[in-house]
């Protein structure tokens, strides 16, 4: 048995090293991109694959860096931060059970995103995709999360993490996506103590030279460029995921670390289509690359432009320095050359030259050639062409006061369109994340569980559920916010809708419900909740609708009867509820009593006005 395990460990590690060697050139390119982003823009890839800065050709050479890559990437990241990554689960049919399952699944996904700080994870994934071209999410089930069942046991919950591309090794580098990969390796460095805690196997730690997501991107050495981080007492854990085949119908997961077998068994997650087991990873790219598993980033295209821009700016500054400092022409032996070289031509300096020799004169440099300015402007426009980010976005200023609002909107729309490919990848990754999260809950939430869920009205509550309350494959995922949204855009849209009368009722007035929705669209939802009691009445009526099966709602003198009647009727006639005949009678009677209270209140008000 031990020999069999040793052979398996050797096989996995050999497979891992072969995949790493096959991808070596890609990793070098990712490191070069990181160097250029952080401002180390004289780094070059040597024939042996090493990243090196060869230094100045001459001591007087100007080698300043005029970094345009960093602001371009930061602008793109800021734009992508406005992309909606929340997902809405829509029912496949209008059946009440499908509708309720879809609504609960949506609330569950939003709760998982909040618990895992999904906005931060998305920013991290987008950053790695911009630098390296590709990033990955790992969607797994952690037994160390969730509610406590005992002092040492938890019920488990979904865990979402971001994997930089250098941790992922597919068996086919020419695969277009994960669907064309049969085997995938995830290699990551862990402290030896963590490995022992997770897999219950004692391993010996060592110095591990690996890249790390926490690595500061300005780490730089003039000889080797961007340096990986050396970690002590760490172990590289290699997880090899293999899809189901004839030999392994449920797939196979083999985990190796410290030259020891940590785990060998079936794929742990039923996260594929039609109840199949698959990879617990979601792929996201900046730009797709033909016949390549790993995408390409904008920095790959910007590096030649940035090199040329640095060269033209430095040559222009050298020319300006020559004009300002001057170049003195002297006859051989006529002056003390050593003194001139050490002290230069300081203002008021007396130059003594040999009697009978020619007088030293300054070389006429003329003006700076226009070719410098023309080439600089061409390169600046090329930055815009290659990156898809205009000067309007990077400078955040308007060059002309005559630009109309329509023209500005067209500029913004064009910039959004140029980023649409990357935005599409972000949204696709969000949809796939939602699918995998729900499938994991369907697999592991077989027993009754409690989860803090946010309702439609913004309230949070503890809700019990099982796997049967979750819908899985028979749904459509609709990512919210199909464009790069902002508060200003929402306000403008709300104003247009208000002008068109979309929020008006049959009497031409804006109802209280429509008014609250309008304020929510404009970003004032929380402010309205703090100032108005009408929203609280709507929420109270919704709670009465939800708890109707538990107990009949009671009418209180403080109720706003008109709002309660509207909400109860909406719930009664909608297709979302699964009320029994008795529940319908109870709610109808409750509505009738509200109407009696409303009529009596109106009659009392009219009597008071007459008197």
The CA angle 230-231-236, to the nearest 5 degrees, is: 105
- Comparing 512 with 336, the larger pLDDT belongs to 336
If you average pLDDT over each of 174-188, 211-225, 484-498, which comes out highest? 174-188
Specify burial of residue 262 (Cβ count, 10 A radius: 0-12, 13-18, 19+): buried
Rounded Cα distance, 173 and 166, in Å:
13
**How far is the CA of 581 from the CAs of 326, 469, 578, 587, in angstroms?**
99, 23, 10, 10
Other Cβ atoms closer than 10 A to 472: 20
Q: What is the pLDDT of residue 54?
A: 78
Residue 608 clears pLDDT 80, i.e. is over it? no
> Mean pLDDT, to the nearest integer, of 461-470?
69
**How far is the CA of 257 from the CAs of 106, 164, 261, 368, 512, in angstroms?**
38, 20, 7, 62, 62
Residue 136 clears pLDDT 70, i.e. is over it? yes
Which of these, 392, 482, 481, lies nearest to 75 by C-alpha position? Answer: 392
Query: pLDDT per residue over 361-373, tens digit each?
Result: 776 777 778 888 8
Other Cβ atoms closer than 10 A to 186: 19
Using only C-alpha atoms, the chain has a radius of gyration, in whole angstroms, of: 33
Q: Are 392 and 398 in contact (CB under 8 A)?
A: yes
> Mean pLDDT, to the nearest integer, of 414-428?
81
φ, ψ for residue 361, nearest 5 deg = -130, 155
- Comparing 581 with 299, the larger pLDDT belongs to 299
Rounded Cα distance, 493 and 501, in Å:
13
Residue 213 clears pLDDT 50, i.e. is over it? no
Q: Which range (68-77, 164-173, 283-292, 340-349) has the least confidence? A: 340-349
**pLDDT band per the 50, 70, 90 thresholds, residue 545:** confident
Average pLDDT for the chain: 79
Rounded Cα distance, 212 and 165, in Å:
11
Taking the CA of residue 100 as centre, how many other CA atoms within 13 Å lie in the half-sphere pointing to its CB? 14
Q: Are 194 and 144 in contact (CB under 8 A)?
A: no
Which of these, 93, 110, 100, 146, lies nearest to 433 by C-alpha position? Answer: 110
**How far is the CA of 165 from the CAs of 116, 128, 170, in angstroms?**
20, 8, 10
Query: pLDDT per residue over 69-80, tens digit each?
Result: 999 999 889 888
Report residue 348 as tokens. 């008021």
Rounded Cα distance, 527 and 1, in Å:
67
Which of these, 105, 113, 110, lies nearest to 459 by C-alpha position? Answer: 110
**How far is the CA of 421 from the CAs of 80, 284, 314, 424, in angstroms?**
11, 11, 35, 5
Rounded Cα distance, 240 and 248, in Å:
14
Q: Which range (181-190, 505-514, 552-561) has the least confidence? A: 505-514
**How far is the CA of 593 from the CAs of 255, 348, 557, in angstroms?**
66, 102, 12
Report residue 589 as tokens. 């009677």
The CA angle 344-349-355, to the nearest 5 degrees, is: 100
255 SS3 class: strand
Phi-psi region of 356 (alpha: psi -120 to 50; beta: other; left: phi over 0): left
Residue 18 clears pLDDT 60, i.e. is over it? yes
Rounded Cα distance, 346 and 329, in Å:
16
Q: Identify the DSSP state of 504.
A: B
Strand partners, 296: 287
**pLDDT band per the 50, 70, 90 thresholds, residue 220:** very low
Instruction: Give Dmax over CA atoms of the chain in angstroms.
Output: 123
Q: What is the pLDDT of residue 47?
A: 83
Q: Which range (34-38, 190-194, 478-482, 541-545) has the least confidence? A: 478-482
96 SS3 class: helix
Count of H helices and E strands in the chain? 18, 19
Q: What is the pLDDT of residue 322?
A: 76
Q: What is the pLDDT of residue 188?
A: 92
Q: Are 227 and 220 in contact (CB under 8 A)?
A: yes
**pLDDT band per the 50, 70, 90 thresholds, residue 394:** low
Strand partners, 281: 138
Q: What is the pLDDT of residue 216?
A: 39
Residue 276 clears pLDDT 50, i.e. is over it? yes
Non-local CB neighbours of 524 within 8 Å, separated by 6+ positions: none
């Amino acid at each position: 048995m031990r020999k069999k395990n040793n052979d398996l460990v050797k096989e996995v590690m050999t497979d891992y090293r072969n995949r790493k060697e096959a991808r070596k050139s890609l990793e070098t390119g990712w490191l070069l991109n990181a160097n250029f982003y952080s401002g180390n823009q004289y780094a070059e890839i040597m024939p042996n694959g090493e990243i090196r800065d060869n230094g100045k050709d001459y001591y007087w050479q100007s080698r300043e860096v005029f970094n345009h890559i960093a602001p371009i990437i930061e602008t793109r990241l800021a734009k992508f931060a406005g992309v909606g990554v929340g997902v809405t689960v829509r029912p496949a049919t209008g059946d009440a059970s499908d509708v309720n399952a879809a609504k609960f699944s949506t609330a569950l996904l939003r709760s998982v995103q909040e618990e895992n700080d999904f906005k931060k994870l998305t920013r991290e994934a987008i950053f790695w995709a911009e630098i390296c071209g590709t990033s990955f999410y790992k969607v797994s089930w952690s037994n160390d999360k969730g509610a406590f069942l005992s002092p040492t046991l938890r019920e488990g919950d979904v865990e979402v993490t971001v994997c930089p591309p250098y941790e992922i090794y597919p068996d086919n580098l020419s695969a277009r996506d994960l669907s064309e990969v049969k085997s995938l390796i995830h290699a990551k460095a862990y402290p030896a103590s963590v490995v022992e805690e997770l897999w219950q196997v004692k391993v010996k730690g060592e110095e591990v030279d690996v890249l790390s997501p926490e690595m500061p991107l300005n780490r730089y050495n003039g000889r080797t460029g961007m340096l990986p981080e050396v970690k002590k007492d760490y172990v590289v854990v290699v997880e090899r995921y293999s899809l189901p085949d004839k030999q392994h119908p449920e797939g196979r997961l083999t985990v190796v670390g410290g030259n020891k077998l940590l785990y060998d068994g079936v794929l742990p997650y039923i996260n594929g289509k039609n109840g199949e087991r698959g990879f617990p990873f979601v792929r996201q790219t900046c730009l797709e690359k033909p016949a390549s598993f790993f995408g390409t980033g904008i920095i790959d295209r910007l590096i030649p432009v940035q090199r040329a821009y640095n060269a033209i700016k430095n040559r222009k500054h050298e020319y300006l320095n020559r004009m300002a400092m001057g170049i003195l022409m002297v006859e051989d032996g006529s002056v003390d050359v050593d003194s001139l070289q050490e002290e230069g031509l300081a203002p008021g300096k007396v130059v003594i030259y040999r009697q009978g020799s020619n007088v030293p004169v300054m070389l006429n440099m003329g003006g700076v050639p226009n070719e410098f300015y023309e080439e600089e402007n061409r390169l600046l426009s090329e930055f815009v062409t290659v990156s898809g980010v205009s000067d309007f976005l990077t400078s955040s200023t308007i060059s002309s006061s005559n630009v109309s609002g329509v023209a500005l909107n067209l500029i913004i729309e064009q910039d959004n369109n140029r980023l649409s490919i990357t935005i599409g990848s972000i949204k696709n990754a969000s949809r796939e994340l939602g699918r995998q999260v729900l499938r994991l809950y369907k697999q592991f939430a077989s027993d009754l569980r409690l989860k803090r869920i946010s309702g439609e009205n913004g309230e949070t509550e503890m809700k019990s559920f099982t796997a049967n309350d979750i819908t899985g494959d028979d749904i459509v995922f609709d990512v919210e916010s199909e464009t790069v949204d902002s508060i200003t855009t929402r306000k403008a849209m709300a104003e247009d809708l208000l002008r068109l009368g979309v929020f008006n009722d049959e009497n031409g007035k804006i109802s209280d419900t429509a008014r609250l929705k309008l304020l929510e669209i404009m970003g004032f939802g929380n402010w309205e909740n703090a100032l108005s009691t009408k929203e609280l009445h709507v929420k109270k009526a919704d709670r009465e609708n939800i708890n109707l099966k538990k107990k009949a709602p009671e009418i209180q003198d403080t109720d706003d009867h008109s709002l309660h009647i509207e909400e109860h009727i909406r719930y009664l006639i909608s297709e979302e509820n699964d009320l029994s005949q008795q529940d319908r009678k109870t709610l109808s009677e409750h509505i009738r009593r509200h109407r009696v209270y409303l009529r009596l209140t109106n009659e009392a008000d009219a009597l008071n006005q007459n008197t």
